Amino acid sequence: MSSKVGSSIERMVTQAVLAAVGAVFSGLIFILLFIQTKNIRFDFKKAVEDPGQIGDLVGGVSGPFIGLIGALLTFLAFWIQYKFNEFQTEKMERTRVEGLFYEMLKIHRANVDEITIKDASKSRRAFISMFKEFKFCYYALVSVYNEYKSENVRFKLDERQLVNISFITFFFGVGESSEEIVNSLLGNYEEIFRKKYYNKLSHFQEEWSNIDQIIKLGKDSKNSTSASKTPKRTIHVSAGNETDYSLTTGYKPFSGHLARLGHYYRHLFQTVYFIHKQKISGKEDYIRTLRAQISAHEQLLLYYNSLTVMGERWWTEGFLEKYGMVKNIPLPLANIGPKPTDKLKAEYFEWFEITKNL
């Protein structure tokens, strides 16, 4: 970026010099044309005896032009110096911004690497597990909603509300420690409905734990010294309309991910916000570098997080659309709640480019 600005200054200097040279030649041509059009004749014998005659004529005609050219060159010198100072200031500011940005990018990578779900999955693979868990929460909510709506015909929720409820519950988990937080965020929904949903997830959580007990009881004594890694178990939910979803996981589901995702989302937003507020060119290039570090499943969870009350600033600030923060979503996986193509143009997504020629 700085090399482009430097080249621009070089072009301006060259243009200024050419303009000055052109002005001098134009002035000389004007003097010659002036002399010709006035039919001025010189008596060169007298001119030799009195050379001031020629000097007075040339000086009188060229003086204003020389003064004008001098003023123009002085202005150009100041202007070029101003542009150069502006370039130096931007270069120093860009150096400062880049230093902070790459430090924030380093912290983002560290945040991802530190994410661990028990001994089941870690780093970027943990986002795959968490996304599957979130989808199970969503389908469990749809199951409860369909049942509750049949008994309460006036009770209606749209797809974004379903995502809001299920994602917040997935984020904070079920249980006494998270109940107060979840209720404060979802208090505008009917309490009976919310309790039915929490009980549903708690039931699935117990079912997952009971599977563990069954596995333990069925072990032979010779296998009692099994590996410490928790075995994976599968639970199922039916959301109606022939929609069945299974979750296979090696950790206790619906226990919440606040400790894993809370600082991750805060830092990610602050990194984008930091670049957005800088008065430099090429901001999109920095965000593109950041987005290259975000996996497909991270972007999927970011999209659904943005549809909740916790992540709505991604939309109000325009970051998802302006900087393509969820550009690399595999669209077939985003098959719950509001479709990404209903919120953003199809051309926005990389998936559109990949599949348009199929």
Asked whether 101 and 271 are in contact (CB, 8 A), the reply is yes
Amino acid at 304: Y
Say which residues have a Cβ less than 8 Å from residue 130's Cβ, sequence separation at least 6.
Answer: 117, 170, 257, 260, 261, 297, 301
Burial class (CB in 10 A: 0-12, 13-18, 19+), 171: buried
Q: What percent helix, strand, coil does the chain show, rounded to 5?
A: 70, 5, 25
Q: What angle do CA 317, 126, 227 make, to 5 degrees?
A: 165
Q: What is the DSSP string of 25-83?
A: HHHHHHHHHHHHHTT----HHHHHH-THHHHHHHHHHHHHHHHHHHHHHHHHHHHHHHH
Residue 147: the pLDDT is 94
Residues 345 and 347: their CA atoms lie apart, in Å, by 5
Residue 277: Cβ within 10 Å count: 8
Residue 66: alpha-carbon gap to chain centroid: 55
pLDDT on residue 358: 77
Helix axes 283-291, 258-277, angle to 10 degrees: 160
Q: What is the pLDDT of residue 92?
A: 84
What averages of pLDDT result for each successive group of 10 residues across the chain (358 residues)? Answer: 54 66 68 60 52 58 68 74 69 89 97 92 95 97 95 94 97 91 93 95 94 55 50 89 88 95 97 94 94 96 97 96 95 95 94 87
At 355, list the tokens.
């599949």
Q: Rounded to 10 degrees, what is the CA torsion of 59, 62, 67, 68? A: 170
From the centroid of its chain, how far is CA 316?
Answer: 13
User: Amino acid identity, residue 192?
Assistant: I
Q: 124-151 vs 296-306: helix axis angle to the nearest 10? A: 40
Report the pLDDT value the prediction gives residue 165, as an integer from 0 to 100: 97
SS (H, E, C) 106-144: HHHHHHHHHCEECCCEECHHHHHHHHHHHHHHHHHHHHH
Query: So what's the pLDDT on residue 190?
Result: 94
Distance (Å) of CA 129 to CA 118, 121, 132, 168: 12, 7, 5, 17
Q: Which two tokens stand for residue 288?
A: 């593109």
